[in-house]
Structure 1
Amino acid sequence: MEALRWRHEYSGKVRDLYLSDAEPARALVVASDRVSAFDHVLEPGIPGKGALLTTLSLWWFDKLDVPNHLAGARGGLAELSTPLPADVAERAMLVKLLDMFPIEAVVRGYLVGSGWAEYQATRSVCGIPLPDGLANGDRLPEPIYTPAYKAPLGEHDENISFERTVELVGEADAEAIRALSLRVFSAASAIAQERGVILADTKFEFGRDPETGEITLADEVLTSDSSRYWDAELYAAGGPHRLDSFDKQIVRDWLAANWDKQGTPPPLPPEIVERTAARYRELIQRLTA
């Protein structure tokens, strides 16, 4: 990357961010094959995961009628004067630098995960009252917006109320982000449903484009890492596999059964790595074929 004058600026659990003096107001976001669970990056990674996540994000950006952070065609890479190596390009997006909002815009269409746990205790999710009698995995009467505060790396994100988002970003932006999140979720759900896939929940990240002032969709979008997808046919049939998701749930389940969350997590067995990679690949095939 040094030969291309890109300098490493930041690494998250999955993505690496690079900046270059030759590309002002732009950043290179490169998805790795790293996989995380329970706030730990695990070994080994999932082969091909970075390319799959990038491919799916770019497919969704193209489908959604909303401003996004891509700098141009082919994930922005068409804007580069010096092409990236092929093994980097398949995992990379050249994006506009945005003034990011400090919230994750979470939308839930179904009652599952932490939402199900909270509902059992309070009959609500993030302060939003829900009807009695719902079961794990049930479709909600309508999608709900349940934002979270983006915690620093290594710390847990914190579920917050809409009122708290108003305090963080102001009323106009809080309302715009909520409306945009629900609209994008609705559009994406319809597209997924046409392909036999249920979009159960997802998270979006937004920033303000300093050049246009527009609220802009950023980061990854509607990938297996940021979303929960189910097979619509299996879901309708019921049974123990109706909530099997196209993501790293296989990793979480294995880790929960084989690690007490103390010290360093054990390495993932080869069969867990391959099963997880297969789920990522299957989702790409189901959605984009």
Structure 2
Amino acid sequence: MTLIYKGKTKDVYSLENNQVLLKFKDDVTGTDGVFDPGANTVGLTIDGAGKSGLKMTKHFFELLQKNGVNTHYVSADIDDVSMVVKTADMFGKGLEVICRYKAVGSFLRRYGAYCEEGQELDSFVEITIKDDERGDPTISEDALAMLGILSNEDYKEIKALTKSICGAIKTELATKNLELYDIKLEFGKDKTTGEIMLIDEVSGGNMRVYKDGKYIVPLELERFFLG
């Protein structure tokens, strides 16, 4: 294997047949030592975070694939804390797609003059561009199309996929009395077929989940959900 890229929370290695291996790390995003799934910097290291994230990701990718969702997932090795996935072509330099059910995090910071913390949102979808230097700014459908990052047709497909995927995840979490407030997804195009597919991970590290009105940190979430 050849190291392709060292990421914040995962390292990427090349494999044969248009596949790569993702090696999960114990680093999580946040600021000043506080976990934040929306942050664009590594905030802290939590022992066991990588394995916990992989267990959740394996569960959700396998669930979504059973529901007919196209993903990059091939297989996972929990002991090795790694996952084999199909290679994807990125949109631009990478996009993050957020689905929000409650007003918290950056949504509340931006629009707090018009909403209260925890206010209900109707599966609101927004897209940010991956750009650490500029703080991962949000971007509109028109701007994505005009800048040649994402066509209007692909935008509509990704928005619909996001609502469907996140609805399934929300329903699955609810079986353990866990409430999804928001979640961040990533999409790319299958190098072989050109189809849009869900990529990256689906874990406590990229969602905010509450139980009885109390926020659950990623490791506790995995124990509550899969334990």
TM-score normalised by the shorter chain: which range applies?
Answer: 0.7 to 0.9
Give the distance between the partners of 2:28 and 2:73, measured in 1 at CA: 24
Aligned-pair identity in percent equals: 28
Q: Is this contact kept in 2: 1:149–1:158, CA < 8 A?
A: yes
Residues 166-185 of structure 1: pairs in structure 2 closer than 5 A:
166-167=145-146, 168-185=149-166
Q: 1:147 is paired with a residue of what secondary structure?
A: strand
Give the distance between the partners of 1:96 and 1:195, measured in 2 at CA: 31
Q: Is this contact kept in 2: 1:230–1:245, CA < 8 A?
A: yes
Determine the structure 2 residue equivalent to 1:288: 226
Normalized per residue, the structure richer in helix is 1
Q: Is this contact kept in 1: 2:12–2:23, CA < 8 A?
A: yes
Tell me by how many angstroms 1:150 deviates.
1.3
Determine the structure 1 residue equivalent to 2:103: 111
Opposite residue 174 of structure 1, the aligned amino acid is Y
Determine the structure 2 residue equivalent to 1:201: 182
Tell me by how many angstroms 1:40 deviates.
4.3
Give the distance between the partners of 2:13 and 2:204, measured in 1 at CA: 23
Determine the structure 2 residue equivalent to 1:51: 51
Deviations 1:18-60 (A, max 9, x none): 114xx231111001112332354356x2111111111110100
Q: Is this contact kept in 1: 2:5–2:12, CA < 8 A?
A: yes
Give the distance between the partners of 2:42 and 2:185, measured in 1 at CA: 21
Q: 1:137 is paired with a residue of what secondary structure?
A: coil
Give the distance between the partners of 2:41 and 2:191, measured in 1 at CA: 34
TM-score (normalizing by structure 2): 0.86
Give the distance between the partners of 2:154 and 2:61, measured in 1 at CA: 21
Deviations 1:146-176 (A, max 9, x none): 1111115x65211112322333211110100
Give the distance between the partners of 1:215 and 1:135, measured in 2 at CA: 35
Give the distance between the partners of 1:111 and 1:150, measured in 2 at CA: 22
Give the distance between the partners of 1:218 and 1:16, measured in 2 at CA: 14
Structure 1 165/182 Cα, relative in aligned 2: closer, same or farther at 3 Å? farther
Q: 2:70 is paired with a residue of what secondary structure?
A: coil
- Is 1:95 the counterpart of 2:74? The answer is no
Deviations 1:66-87 (A, max 9, x none): 111023xx42x6xxxxxxxx85
- Is 1:33 the counterpart of 2:53? The answer is no
- Is 1:9 the counterpart of 2:4? The answer is yes
TM-score (normalizing by structure 1): 0.68
Give the distance between the partners of 1:120 and 1:48, measured in 2 at CA: 35
Structure 2: gaps spanning 5 or more residues: 32-39
Deviations 1:125-166 (A, max 9, x none): xxxxxxxxx4201222x11011111115x6521111232233
Structure 1 53/114 Cα, relative in aligned 2: closer, same or farther at 3 Å? same
Q: Tell me which of 144, 151, 154 is aligned to 1:165.
A: 144
- Is 1:69 the counterpart of 2:72? The answer is yes
Q: Is this contact kept in 2: 1:14–1:34, CA < 8 A?
A: yes
Give the distance between the partners of 2:156 and 2:143, measured in 1 at CA: 12
Tell me by how many angstroms 1:246 deviates.
2.2
Q: Tell me which of 130, 133, 143 is aligned to 2:123.
A: 143
Q: Is this contact kept in 2: 1:145–1:178, CA < 8 A?
A: yes
Structure 1 190/212 Cα, relative in aligned 2: closer, same or farther at 3 Å? same
Give the distance between the partners of 1:171 and 1:35, measured in 2 at CA: 33
Q: Is this contact kept in 2: 1:200–1:227, CA < 8 A?
A: yes
- Is 1:226 the counterpart of 2:206? The answer is yes
The number of residue pairs the alignment matches comes to: 212
| Structure showing greater Rg | 1
